[in-house]
Amino acid sequence: MRIGITGHSNLARESVPLVAAELRKVLSEYATPLIGVSCLARGADQVFARVVLELGGDLEVVLPAADYRERKVKPDNRTEFEELLGRAASVRVLPFDTSNRDAYAAANEDVLGGVDALIGVWDGAPPDGKGGTGDTVQAARTRGVPVVVVWPDGAQRSQ
């Protein structure tokens, strides 16, 4: 079973355990072997990746652009990013030089094109531009990809 993730990168710190618990519950309902497909962005993508690995699944990573690691992974998140990347069963880097909305949209399309279902760690806010969480949930629904929205009580985004 191949499950993709889209979700907010700005989860409030106190929301992380809430989201992780809900992801554990949702992912435990899928058949094994489980393969989680993630762009490994900070926040929801990394929480999802940890839960997939914790449950014994494999992690596949899709990086949006060649410069993603250097340009978009912040110093305070580098250790976690590198650890998860190192535990991935596979890593694909899309053919974009620069991380931008087009690269993110293409990465989300890549994820959607190869999964049986999508989990959206999403507060339900309207789409805010090409490549965002709301756009990806909407695209999955339009294509008929089953979507499970995870937004537990008490979850918040940081400002």
Supply the pLDDT for residue 126: 86
Residue 155 lies in a domain: no
Between CA 83 and CA 39 the distance in angstroms is: 14
Decide if 106 is inside a domain.
yes
Q: Based on the structure, what is the number of domains in the chain?
A: 1
pLDDT at 131: 73
In a domain, 68, yes or no: yes
Range of the domain at 144: 2-150
Assigned domain for 9 exists:
yes
Q: Is there a domain that residue 158 lies in?
A: no
The CATH number for 61's domain is 3.40.50.450
Question: Could you tell me the sign of the dihedral formed by the alpha carbons of 67, 48, 43, 105, in that order?
Answer: positive
pTM: 0.95
Provide the pLDDT for residue 100.
92
The tens place of each residue's pLDDT in the chain, 159 residues long, gives 999 999 999 999 999 999 999 999 999 999 889 999 999 999 999 999 999 999 999 999 999 999 999 999 999 999 999 999 999 999 999 999 999 989 999 999 999 999 999 999 999 988 876 678 999 999 999 999 999 999 999 999 997
